[in-house]
Structure 1
Amino acid sequence: MQLIKNFAGDVYRNRKIIFSLALNDFKMRYAGSYLGIVWAFIQPIMTILVYWFVFQVGFRSGSVEKVPFILWFMSGLIPWFFFSEALMSATNCFFEYSYLVKKVLFKISILPIVKIASSLFVHLFFIGVMILIFALYGIYPSIYTLQLFYYLVCLVGVTVALSYITSSIVIFTKDFGQVIGIVLQFGMWFTPIMWNYKMLSENWRWLFKINPMYYIVEGFRDAMFNQIWFWEKWNETLWFWDITLIYFVLGFIIFKKLKPHFSDVL
């Protein structure tokens, strides 16, 4: 618990510089292009449209859990977009900010959070778009929709925890970044985004439920249309936070042990 308190204290004390760096990072990503930051929104929108066309128009996928396929699919894909993009960005953050890593007085532990916060700007926009599209289909926000804030905390929490592991290791083994990319590709199919986990027998469901993103994806759906509170799934909630805490502690142990050698390698 002391580790979490210290981490939260560091984030709070450096909140202004985190926001400033995150905003600058978001702007600089698309600097020099004609459309600028508009590209940050075009790619995810086009991806959703392609998948919608393939599955709903091409394969004629019907309703899932009594909602149109596109709504069911979107509520799973949007949190995955954030997770994969934020984790990859945070994994390479020490390379990108190598000039800050070499500064003795700079708190480099905030750099993964900067990259994750930068990705959060686009994610918040897409949450708003998702709510709007649901409303166009006649599914309006309810008291359950407020759970999106909780699941957003879950999403950021597990991404931060994993990023300290990946960003620390990739400095010494650059191929590890490619491994993360491959794992994310497989992870998208291991997570019930395009398929319903209820298709599986009870004997196999546990295998997919150990994936933290399963909890978040299903949580988004619970908030948007299943109307189930997160505490009603208390066993899955406890499992998610237990595994996230393990990732967090492991990440900080690895980060603390390898940090003194960062500047030598970079």
Structure 2
Amino acid sequence: MQIKKYTSSQNSQSFKGLFVEMFQDLMASRGLAWRLTVRDFKGQYRQSFFGAFWVFITPLMSALVWMFLNASGAVKISSSGIPYPAYVLTGTMLWSILSESINMPLKQTNASKGVISKINFPKEALLLSGLYKIGGNTLIKIGLILLVLLVFGVVPDYKILLLPLVLTGFILFGFSIGLLLTPIGMLYNDVVRLIPMAMQFLMYLSPVVYSMPKDQSLLTQIIRINPTTCLINLARNSFVGLPFEQWFYFGVLMFMTIIIMLVSWVFYRYSIPIIVERNS
């Protein structure tokens, strides 16, 4: 067992030493994170008749609603280059991955408050376990997306080779935002309620269920600079073979994601034990 010795010079630890210790704890927590993930998956589906079906039921139902609205003429959606059912289902599935990535850090930490207050262990295990669960659920959704695309005659081309890179950035972007919000959400329950509302509003400012407008209106400009627009378009285009756009913007987003992730990680590492102790 690793033994940590705290001294009076602890507060003067260099940034380099801090990050080395953080990554050491991250690597040391891999086994615990995996056991937590397996436990949570078993507990999640133990008393569930439909099992993994619940992973994609919400985005699937949302896609069906939009397909019905489009088919009935209640909503007119411009051409997207692929059949609309394939377009909207891919969009809603990708959006559910982003939503899960944002919610996961707070969800994991809230569920483990009792353990955090009683046992001293690397808190990175909770974050890594959350990433494992997002990865498992994402694989299920990718399988469904590919199945739907083949049913509608959309065959992925060589661009799908870039899907792992795009989806990794996609998940890390959402996770970094969620990690930044977690300490605040542990202090104020309002954050838990506000995140779904904000995601619902943000969804309509992203090309999830509609194609990118071609005009130059103010709303179109807002949609274009919205970070989730770039992420959704790149991920969807990796699946369906449409032309890639905004690669430079994607690179900028990934750079910002790394910065936000590191800052949030430091904040999380030192604030969560204090917050949990205060609330216990």
Q: TM-score, normalised by structure 2?
A: 0.81
Preserved CA contact (<8 Å) 1:56 1:62: no
SS in 1 for 2:254: helix
Preserved CA contact (<8 Å) 1:161 1:247: yes
The alpha-carbon deviation at position 212 of structure 1 amounts to 2.7
Equivalents in 1 of 2:173, 2:161: separation in Å?
Answer: 20
Relative to structure 1, the CA distance from residue 207 to residue 128 in structure 2 (aligned partners, 3 Å threshold; closer, same or farther) is: same
Q: Which residue of 1 aligns with 2:263?
A: 250
Q: Which residue of 2 aligns with 1:181?
A: 196
Preserved CA contact (<8 Å) 2:101 2:172: no
Equivalents in 2 of 1:211, 1:11: separation in Å?
Answer: 32
**Structure with a larger share of its residues in helix:** 1
Structure 2 residue runs without a partner (length 5+): 1-14
Q: CA RMSD in A?
A: 2.8
The alpha-carbon deviation at position 101 of structure 1 amounts to 1.3
Equivalents in 1 of 2:202, 2:132: separation in Å?
Answer: 22
Relative to structure 1, the CA distance from residue 113 to residue 52 in structure 2 (aligned partners, 3 Å threshold; closer, same or farther) is: farther
Q: TM-score, normalised by structure 1?
A: 0.84
Cα offsets for 1:205-249 (capped at 9, x unmatched): 4533443322221012321234435xx633212221133123213
Superposition pairs for residues 96-107 of structure 1, below 5 Å? 96-107=111-122
Give the greater-gyration-radius structure (CA).
Answer: 2
Q: Which amino acid aligns with 2:196?
A: G
Preserved CA contact (<8 Å) 1:73 1:193: yes
Superposition pairs for residues 105-144 of structure 1, below 5 Å? 105-144=120-159
Cα offsets for 1:54-87 (capped at 9, x unmatched): 2234547566232111122222211111121332
Structure 1 residue runs without a partner (length 5+): none
Percent identity at matched positions? 20
Preserved CA contact (<8 Å) 1:101 1:262: no
Matched, 1:237 2:247: no
Q: Which amino acid aligns with 2:271?
A: L
The alpha-carbon deviation at position 104 of structure 1 amounts to 4.6
SS in 1 for 2:208: coil
Q: Which residue of 2 aligns with 1:28?
A: 43
How many aligned positions are there? 264
